[in-house]
Amino acid sequence: MSENYFFSKNIRDLSPEERLKVIGEVFESNSELLSSLRGDGALPLTVADGMIENVIGRFELPLGVATNFQVNGKDYLIPMAVEEPSVVAAASYMAKLARFNGGFEAHSDRPIMRAQIQVMDVQDLKSAKERILKHKNELIHAANEKDKTLVSLGGGCEDIEVHLFEDTPSGPMLIVHLLVNVLDAMGANTVNTMAEYIAPQVEKISQGHVRLRILSNLADKRLVTASVKIASRQFDTADYKGEEVVKGILEAASFAVVDPYRAATHNKGIMNGIDPVVIATGNDWRAIEAGAHAFAAISGHYSPLTQWSSSDECVLVGKITLPMAVGLVGGATKTHPAAKAAIALLGVKSSAELGQVIAAVGLAQNLAALRALATEGIQRGHMTLHARNIALQAGASSNEIDLVVQRMIESQNVTIDSASKILKGIK
């Protein structure tokens, strides 16, 4: 994909069909992939019926594409399934600014997931812990017997931890953690199966009773970090000096550091960027949300997932770190045609690469929100896009939407009543 593409094409000004055509030209995509991205029968009812229970239909979200992203020197178009206005545009604009400074840099931990085995009714916790650790290699070997294919590919259970909770509402607990390299999978099924398989051995060794055998979504050994640098002059506008914008961004970020009420909204804005990519690629967005918010509170104080600072050279520096348990194999990533097409559009080759791109999108989305808050406020750009939804609700046709939106914005009255009156005047 040529770099000139990102600067010579503004797909925001094209129709949906024209955008899809441009994407097809860039990626030399086949018609089946483009059809899946368009949503033409992307999820057959028969496939949906096999994915979950009691299926009665399908629920659709708009699928957009964020442009301008460059991560570790590679260009990406980002599929985003989201209903909220301004998300795709905001991420794309911040990615465009980032490109002038080399885009985003990102790196990942190894794909290590945890399974937890809860053991109750243990008479001597410390002695039981010692016995389990003494038999650690035996337990690791047993776990790996359950997934020889994963082991043959270089993954598998690598270590075992034992955690003791002497005082809980239900009494003392011994918790065994299996640490498993799941390679390019999200890993839930793998670690759950291993935990259930070795549970009888754990029970025998500990002389207790096993209860829960389940993964943890706090994937703190599977972190991804993305960073970006943007010169303050790139934030210059007719109304604001770049240095002033950067100062406002840093003040907004500091607010999130000290106040969990602000941090919750700050992190929600990050997930505005992350969740749509996770959904589009068929990954488990609930798991990513749970892991992100748990990680934000891991210190005992709920904190922002991003850190912002400025260098002596008047450069804004941002970084995000969070768990990223996404996969390219298994689940909806392999069964949902649109998810497979979205992954093909991204062109990622590993779960680590996918996680790095997703983290970069979250960082871009956070920067877009902080910039808006530090300047004209969050509502100005958001309401412009929200006005399109209002126009649609009022019954505007595709040929009428832009005019209705323009007049509502000019009158600063973005309501159904206003849209309806404008439509009457047009007709």
pLDDT in tens, the chain (427 residues): 444 444 445 777 788 888 888 888 776 767 788 888 888 777 888 888 988 999 999 898 999 999 999 999 999 999 999 998 889 999 999 999 999 999 999 999 999 999 999 999 999 999 999 999 999 999 999 999 999 999 999 999 999 999 999 999 999 999 999 999 999 999 999 999 999 999 999 999 999 999 999 999 999 999 999 999 999 999 998 889 999 999 999 999 999 999 999 999 999 999 999 999 999 999 999 999 999 999 999 999 999 999 999 987 789 999 999 999 999 998 888 889 999 999 999 999 999 999 999 999 999 999 999 999 988 765 555 666 678 878 888 888 878 888 888 888 888 888 889 999 898 888 7
Question: Distance (Å, rounded) from C-alpha 86 to C-alpha 368?
Answer: 10
**Cβ distance 198 to 139 under 8 Å?**
yes
Residues with a catalytic annotation lie at 84, 268, 284, 382
Helix (H) / strand (E) containing 69: strand 63-71
Contact 285, 279 (CB under 8 A): yes
* 82 within 8 A of 268, measured Cβ to Cβ: no
| Residues 185, 315: Cα–Cα separation, whole Å | 37
Strands 315-323, 306-310: parallel, antiparallel or unpaired by DSSP?
A: antiparallel
Separation CA 379–CA 219 (nearest Å): 34
CA dihedral 64, 303, 111, 351 (to 10 degrees): 10
- Rounded Cα distance, 171 and 180, in Å: 28
CA distances from residue 13 to 236, 266, 294, 364 in whole angstroms, order as listed: 24, 30, 40, 22
List the end-to-end C-alpha distance of the chain, in Å, as a whole number.
45
| Residue 377 Ramachandran class (φ > 0 left, ψ -120 to 50 alpha, else beta) | left
Q: Checking phi first, is residue 15 left (phi over 0); if not, alpha (psi -120 to 50) or beta?
A: beta
The torsion defined by the Cα of 155, 285, 11 and 92, in degrees rounded to 10, comes to -90
Give the amino acid at 242. G
CB atoms within 10 A of CB 22: 16
**Local structure of 342: helix, strand or coil:** helix
H runs (alpha helix) in 210-336:
242-258, 260-280, 285-296, 332-335
Cα of 133 vs its chain's centroid, Å: 36
d(CA 265, CA 244): 23
CA distance 122 to 211: 12
Look up tokens 């009714």; give the residue: 121
- With a CB cutoff of 8 Å and minimum separation 6, the contacts of 3 are 75
Range list of β-strands (E), 82-208? 105-108, 112-120, 156-165, 173-181
For the chain, give the number of residues: 427
Confirm if 120 and 173 have CB atoms less than 8 A apart: yes
Contact status, residue 426 vs residue 400, Cβ threshold 8 Å: yes
Decide: residue 358, CB within 10 A, 0-12 exposed, 13-18 middle, 19+ buried: buried
* Residue labelled with tokens 């500990």: 206
Model pTM greater than 0.85? Answer: yes
Supply angle C-alpha 115, 268, 285, rounded to 5.
40
Question: How many CB atoms lie under 10 A from the CB of residue 231?
Answer: 17
Tokens of 329: 């194999």
Contact yes or no for 69/76 (Cβ under 8 A): yes
